[in-house]
Chain A
């Protein structure tokens, strides 16, 4: 019981701090340099980092060769209860599973077919996420005491986030009872999405349909 409580508190459930105010005083702290190439060059003479403090490097900003914007974002989206390490393991395992499946198919395939098979799991995952980007979003707007689901256009980063969130929710729902693992389902889902199949793509299309149906409300966009 106590350990549960301790873990509960550890994950900052009750924390009221927002992400905008953190331990770093914005007056004296500046962002660190994360790119290795840039790190080797000397700082500009008028760069404030010459005389101010630099924030500690974030654990997911280390300059490793497999650093990838989409994968990092996917890891962040899939994080639950602040356990990013677990989430990272899950997503990387999903990548491994994708690669193993593709590799097996590749090994079996003939010479011409081999060219068509993508082995890089990062490319597949990125393509899968890209295919899931919705074009619009639905947002509740209250007019005259009634809430209408109004279609709104969205920017690229938000579309990416919504694609990942849809995928994550679907994977979580399916892996609920521990029969299958999150990583397995995520791998399947990413692979399917890269070929424009799978439940996430379906969910996206459903969303588009609803948007189309609700286009009459479009004038409620304030």
Chain B
């Protein structure tokens, strides 16, 4: 299950709740370079064509993508963490090493949704987007494995590698032309017959990987390498958004020949993503989500694991991602719930009469304990 919640915010903690009877929906995508137009606490719509382009249906938490399907639009609330990310993305520069941001917060407070908003923000600013739905997919949902021919001991994961490449291709159609004009640094010899010569456009690497799954893992590495190099040269700006990034240092379900579990550092894709997270390149921003599902055990009914970065990344992962900027996602404030409530009422989504009363508004707020996920769940059947 994806961590859920809609990300929302508020600009006027001190303003009375009832002033938000109508909140203007802003069209972010209509205004490129729109950082200054993002307003905390306002609802922003991501156009359906853009959402489809960015494949948000699979990247968003399932309740929200269902909501997108039902309402026929994707409206999210801009909240403080998103503002912080936007201000961090503004400082990204050719000389500055890739900024690393870690989104952390309790269950359902909107880590994933903020991540998706950031991806959309990068899209509006014409950045290159590397978006991973969940790093846990790379470590725990590995369907088929191959031993790497490039580095002995490494384990390739063709299906996930192809998925990464395809997703990259789909999400970067807006800069595809630019990517086509960037050339490879050196010869890549994938196998005896397949090779990509120096000076070919890097989109060719992607196409190569998609058509030949057994090469895809290496292609991902080459692609990331080229991206980093070009970002350093200032030819592109890149946003690396990795959901559940702490799973890159978690446990895996991949078995080696001797039936022991392989450590994540043996998985090719994990290694490639780690290299992307390392800030030895410039002109980019790495956005990670520290999620509890890596360490939480569903069968452990008594233990409560922490949701703080050090706990989730572990010593090794923490030292790797340091220095980073932790960005906390929190529960709603009262005015945020009001904004959302008004939106639901306006869209006629709150169907029952009792929910539309003042009493219903208050109860929704307090029954969900201001948690975005539970607020949405409660609104879903009322």
Contact = CB atoms under 8 A, between A and B. Distances in A.
B70 A65 contact: no
Contacts of A64: 363, 367
A103 B70 contact: yes
Given A65-B360, A99-B380, A107-B72, A120 B351 contact: yes
A1 to B, nearest CB: 16
Given A65-B357, A121-B352, A123-B352, 15 more contacts: A64-B363, A65-B354, A65-B364, A65-B382, A66-B354, A66-B381, A66-B382, A93-B381, A95-B381, A99-B351, A102-B351, A103-B71, A103-B349, A121-B351, A121-B381
The 3 closest A-B pairs by CB, nearest first: A119-B351, A95-B381, A96-B381
B37 interface: no
Contacts of B355: 65-66
B66 interface: yes
A92 interface: yes
A119 B354 contact: no
A122 interface: yes
B352 A122 contact: yes
Interface in A74-123: 92-93, 95-96, 99-100, 102-104, 106-107, 119-123
B191 to A, nearest CB: 42
A4 to B, nearest CB: 14
Contacts of B367: 64
A106 B353 CA distance: 17
B348 interface: yes
Contacts of A120: 351-353
B225 to A, nearest CB: 45
B381 A65 contact: no
B24 interface: no
Label chain A's interface by main secondary structure. helix
Contacts of B70: 100, 103-104
Given A92-B381, A99-B381, A106-B348, A65 B363 contact: yes
Interface bracket on A:
10 to 19
A104 B367 CA distance: 27
B contact face: mostly helix, strand, loop, or mixed: helix
Nearest to A101: B70
B374 to A, nearest CB: 12
Q: Which of B70, B351, B354, B360 has the most CB of A within 10 A?
A: B351
Nearest to A103: B70
B359 interface: yes
Nearest to B348: A119
B352 to A, nearest CB: 5
A119 B379 CA distance: 13
A171 to B, nearest CB: 17
B6 to A, nearest CB: 16
B349 A66 contact: no
Interface in A44-88: 64-66
Nearest to A114: B348
Interface string A117-139: 00111110000000000000000
20 contacts: A64-B363, A64-B367, A65-B354, A65-B355, A65-B359, A65-B363, A93-B381, A95-B381, A96-B380, A96-B381, A99-B351, A99-B380, A99-B381, A102-B351, A103-B70, A103-B348, A103-B349, A104-B70, A119-B351, A120-B353
B231 to A, nearest CB: 42
A128 B128 CA distance: 52
B124 to A, nearest CB: 27
Interface in B182-235: none
Contacts of A100: 66, 70
A70 B355 CA distance: 17
Interface string B341-366: 00000001101111101011001100
